[in-house]
Every structure is written in structure tokens, then in C-alpha cells.
Amino acid sequence: MTSPKTTSQASLNATFRGPWTLLKKELLRFWRVAFQTVAAPVITALLYLLIFSHVLEGHVQVYDGVPYTAFLIPGLIMMSVLQNAFANSSSSLIQSKVMGNIVFILLTPLTHLQFFVAFLFAAIIRGLVVGLCIYLVAMWFIDLTIVHPWLIFAFALLGSALLGTFGIIAGIWADRFDQMAAFQNFIIMPLSFLSGVFYSIHSLPPFWQKVSQLNPFFYMIDGFRYGFFGKGDVSPLISLSIVGASFLVLAWITLKMLKSGYKLRA
């Protein structure tokens, strides 16, 4: 006779084995093409750094005592974290839908929550890996001080989770690669570049400052930068609250979509 303890242990193992297997599959998917998924965004960020620091260093100073190159690096890191977290979950889902192999995941006894957790953690890990690589490369250019390490980690984690969740929504909604490209080109890219990566919003006219404050990417990048310098355009607690609330809203929407099988189950 099987003891209750053995049955409970088997049930617990089954609960974690499914999402863990899907997570490993998602991690291997981007790691096997690491030159494209990790090295390419690092090189892109490095090019931005070389061009903007060369042109504007000595001409622009946002914070007292902070060189422009130092100001620029946290913004580039966070922008890359966000873009790659979105790309990981969205590209995986749209590829699976277009190629038809999404059915093999849907046939498994995974719950919608387990499905969500596996894709979310894979997106977070890719975003953090890319961000860490850019930080290590940037250390060759300038010695970055870190005032609040916990803020850096909190915003990197929440930001990648938020964009990973948004990537799942985009991957579920899109039916073709061109629809996914529209998300990247008309939503993610503009919000990234208009979030204060290359400038402080206080350098903008009052109207555009108000517009920038409607951009959730601004709070992620400003809060992340605050962790390095202890300076920012808004309070990091306000930024953290807005980013956290945005993640909870998107997570709720995503779970609803997954539970209903929207555009996943015929």
C-alpha cells in the first residue's frame, strides 16, 4: 500500500516537474543560439555606448558629478533587459504557433499558471543575462558606482517580469510574424527610446515631461538608474509601485487569456 507521505511527495514532484521541464526547454531554446540572443544585443548596446558617449561626453551633464557615459550605461542596460525579456517569450510563442508545435505543450497536463511561470522565468533569465553581460563589458569603459544594489536588482527583476508577461500577451495575440514585428517596432522600440535612456526628462519642455510620465518604461529605467547614482527624476518608491502594479495587471490579463485558451486552443 502506498503511504500518504509517498503520494504527497509524488504529487509535489509532478507539480514542479512539468513547469521545470518547460522552463529548461525555453532556456535551451535561447542559449543554443546565444550569439543571436545574448551576444547581438550586447554588441548593439556597446555601439550605442561608443557613439553617444563619443559625441556627447563633455557636452552633456545630467547629474552633478556624474559623467554622461556613466549616466548612459544604466539606461542601455535596462533597455536591453526589457527588450530581450519581451523578445524571449513573444518569439517562442509565435514560433510555436506558426510551426504548429504549440499543440505538444497544450496536450501536457500543465495548468495555465505553470505555463505562465515557465515562460515568465525564461524571459526574466534571458533579460538578466543580457543585462549582466552589458554591465561587465561597460566596466572596461568606466567604473560605475552602485549606491543601492537592492534597487538595481528589484527594477531589473520587475522590469524583465513585466516585459516577459507583455511578451506572452503579444505571442498569444499575434498570428503571424509581421504582427509580432509590429509590436516590437511600434510599441516596444518607441517606448524604450522615449523613456529617458539617453537624457533626463527634466531637459524636455513641460508638455513632453508629462507625456514621458505616462510611459511605464520611464519608471523602470529611472528607478534602475537611481540604484547606481542615488539620483533620479522621480522617487524610486513611486517608480517601484508603478512597475509592480503594472506587472500585476498584465499578469492577471495573461492568466485570464491562458485559462480561456484564447487563440491557443481551437
Condensed to tens digits (0 to 9), the pLDDT of residues 132-147 reads 999 999 988 888 889 9
| DSSP code for 202 | G
Q: Do the domain assignments include residue 2?
A: no
Q: Do the domain assignments include residue 233?
A: yes
| DSSP code for 185 | I
Structural domain that includes position 46: 18-260
Q: 18: how many CB neighbours lie within 10 A of its CB?
A: 17
The pTM score is 0.92
Residue 111 makes CB contacts below 8 A (sequence gap 6+) with none
Q: Do the domain assignments include residue 7?
A: no
Q: Do the domain assignments include residue 72?
A: yes
Q: What is the pLDDT of residue 6?
A: 56
Q: What is the pLDDT of residue 149?
A: 95
Q: What is the pLDDT of residue 200?
A: 83
* Measured distance between the N- and C-terminal CA atoms of the chain, rounded to whole angstroms: 42
Low-confidence ranges of the chain (pLDDT < 50): 1, 10, 12
Q: Do the domain assignments include residue 13?
A: no
The domain tally of the chain equals 1
Q: Do the domain assignments include residue 29?
A: yes
CA-to-CA dists, residue 17 to 28, 51, 108, 156, 247, angstroms: 16, 46, 12, 27, 26
234-261 pLDDT per residue, tens:
999 999 999 999 999 999 999 999 999 9
Q: Do the domain assignments include residue 266?
A: no
Q: Which of 263, 100, 266 is nearest to 169 (CA)?
A: 263
Q: Do the domain assignments include residue 155?
A: yes
Q: What is the pLDDT of residue 116?
A: 97
Q: What is the pLDDT of residue 63?
A: 76
Q: What is the pLDDT of residue 32?
A: 94
SS3 state at 115: helix
Which amino acid, one-letter code, is at 90? S
d(CA 84, CA 110): 25
